[in-house]
A and B are shown apart, each in its own frame.
Chain A
């Protein structure tokens, strides 16, 4: 052990800093923090605005545009009113204490913003773009277009909506049931070839299924499932399976062995143990996979575009595609309205189940 440690000996004066030094450090610290957070927020706001703006614009167009025009005055006017209002509320939140006075102030801001908004854009709002919800012949009824310019009639939007619902719903149900069964078995049972099965699943999971669209098309044709929603359901569900099986297996892995063994000791067969004891534990996994699956099915485009033709089989994605293809140049408003109608369920689901989706998008398929 060394006897002398010059730099660490006791006989040193105290730090020798005066209060001024400490105060200067304190100020520097506060300044650093404020600048840092300020820059970060500025960055985040700047990059997020281009994302939010178009969605908001689509919404405003859907309730204000008229045939032949692209309405953006409503957008800018509402932004001009909403942004200061939101900023005001933000500062209120930051700089004041919670309490009755703050509530009144916030209510005041909301009322002022609301009335200004109503005055500024109220007269421009209308619901004519939403006619497609009632009237399947809305395309012909657009001013300036006669029946002759329309190639063929569009199906009712509700047909497409129903098809999408069926596609997404049945496909989700299929994925959930098959993946739960397989995930459970792979998690809790041992069998010869288990390791290989898991590895094969892993490879499939990483493999990009989109490359197989041509042979899938041919398979559908040969099995007579072309132009059927059933066919699409089977294809999409299958392609999601590797991902779903892994997620469910992960959830099953997290359930302790003890309660299952307890059930077996109590006299249940493995199947009953599964149903009554293990299954309830993985409800969260089911929700996560289910929501993700549903959204995927709701949005599917490439496969439905390739495998579905008859107008009565159209899903919402096809419906909006062909509608916009037909009347885009003429009537932004209607297209926007259809867009809002189509996107709303996705956004609602997303908002309500957000934390699950964030966990699950780790295995997303889109690029």
Chain B
């Protein structure tokens, strides 16, 4: 038998286990998640352009960012408007409404409607964007116009040209509302049924029950969704890119899309990297903030009423 010290054999086994189990994850995360952050910082200080070559190190990108880019302000403004509207109207409010409505009707119907509202989220983004394109077609081919012109006798509506912000808020809102709907629904389902029974016997009607029992139980999910979705919306641009491409002109150019185009359409990779740092910084700050929030939630998780 071996004469090796048992504790070092155990230590070796632990190391081997750690390498086997955690190794792949750690390697992948380092290579494709953490390394990019480092690369981003690095490239931001270079002059990399279309050629993808670095010839010098410079802070010119940051100077340009701070003094010489007239697009940054407007895109930030567009971003904030878009985030506020989408979050406020759809992700939070409409998500809540859907959760409340689908839990107040019999379970099978509720599940059916929730399934419908998850459809946009589960569809490929390209197809979803195509569907929107067909809906908003400015001639009477677009589905909306078929209803508007054919049934209601209105003039054809051109949402893309006239109300692009409305368009992106709606398009992203349908997607965002579904996440809120799911989280709020499971929070509502977690409320002990006896609380609802007690309230009903105490004399509360459905609105009073919602106000006194349901909503107070949603305080935590509401703040979680708000923070999480704010971050999500701040950095997302996929649907906007596909549906309006930031236009017309720069009307719906959110900051994240602007950064993308600077790098991949104009070939200004270094500048794009520098701009990205703003997003990365926001991302890190928000993640840390949410981490604190989540930890607090773990503490608040334990129910303290003796519920059977």
Binding site for B on A (CB under 8 A): 32, 36-37, 40-41, 43-44, 47-48, 51-55, 57-58, 70, 72, 177-179, 181-182, 184-186, 189, 191, 197, 199, 202-219, 221, 234-235, 237-239, 241-242, 245, 270-271, 295, 298-299, 301-302, 306, 316-317, 320-321, 324, 328, 332, 335, 339, 342-343, 346-347, 350, 354, 357-358, 361-362, 364-367
Given A37-B105, A212-B37, A238-B32, A357 contacting B21 (CB threshold 8 A): no
Whether A204 pairs with B29 at a CB distance below 8 angstroms is yes
Say whether B39 faces chain A, with CB atoms less than 8 Å apart: yes
Q: Please, what's the 1-or-0 string for B148-160, where 1 marks a CB less than 8 Å from any CB in chain A?
A: 0000000000000
Query: How far is B133's CA from A339's CA once the two chains are assembled, in angstroms?
Result: 13
Whether B21 pairs with A185 at a CB distance below 8 angstroms is yes
Say whether B266 faces chain A, with CB atoms less than 8 Å apart: no
Say whether B20 faces chain A, with CB atoms less than 8 Å apart: yes
Whether B124 pairs with A317 at a CB distance below 8 angstroms is yes
Whether A216 pairs with B231 at a CB distance below 8 angstroms is no
Whether A367 pairs with B123 at a CB distance below 8 angstroms is no
Query: How far is B85's CA from A338's CA once the two chains are assembled, in angstroms?
Result: 33
Query: How far is B219's CA from A324's CA once the two chains are assembled, in angstroms?
Result: 44
Residue on B nearest A71 in the bound complex, by CB: B141
Residue on A nearest B228 in the bound complex, by CB: A206
CB contacts between A and B, total, < 8 Å: 257
Query: How far is B141's CA from A216's CA once the two chains are assembled, in angstroms?
Result: 41
Q: Which of B29-70 contact A (CB under 8 A)?
A: 29, 31-33, 35-37, 39-40, 43, 48, 52
Whether B114 pairs with A204 at a CB distance below 8 angstroms is no
Q: Which of B43, B206, B228 contacts A218 (CB 8 A)?
A: B43
Whether A301 pairs with B126 at a CB distance below 8 angstroms is yes
Whether A208 pairs with B231 at a CB distance below 8 angstroms is yes
Given A44-B113, A208-B232, A241-B29, A343 contacting B242 (CB threshold 8 A): no
Query: How far is B128's CA from A321's CA once the two chains are assembled, in angstroms?
Result: 11
Shortest distance between the CB of A192 and any CB in chain B (Å) = 10
Shortest distance between the CB of B65 and any CB in chain A (Å) = 14
Query: How far is B28's CA from A204's CA once the two chains are assembled, in angstroms?
Result: 13
Residue on B nearest A57 in the bound complex, by CB: B143
Whether B25 pairs with A179 at a CB distance below 8 angstroms is yes
Given A212-B280, A343-B127, A366-B238, A358 contacting B32 (CB threshold 8 A): no
Query: How far is B29's CA from A179's CA once the two chains are assembled, in angstroms?
Result: 11
Residue on B nearest A208 in the bound complex, by CB: B235
Query: How far is B129's CA from A302's CA once the two chains are assembled, in angstroms?
Result: 13
A-B contact sample (4 more), CB < 8 A, given A212-B37, A234-B31: A58-B131, A215-B37, A298-B124, A361-B118
Given A40-B104, A301-B126, A215 contacting B43 (CB threshold 8 A): yes
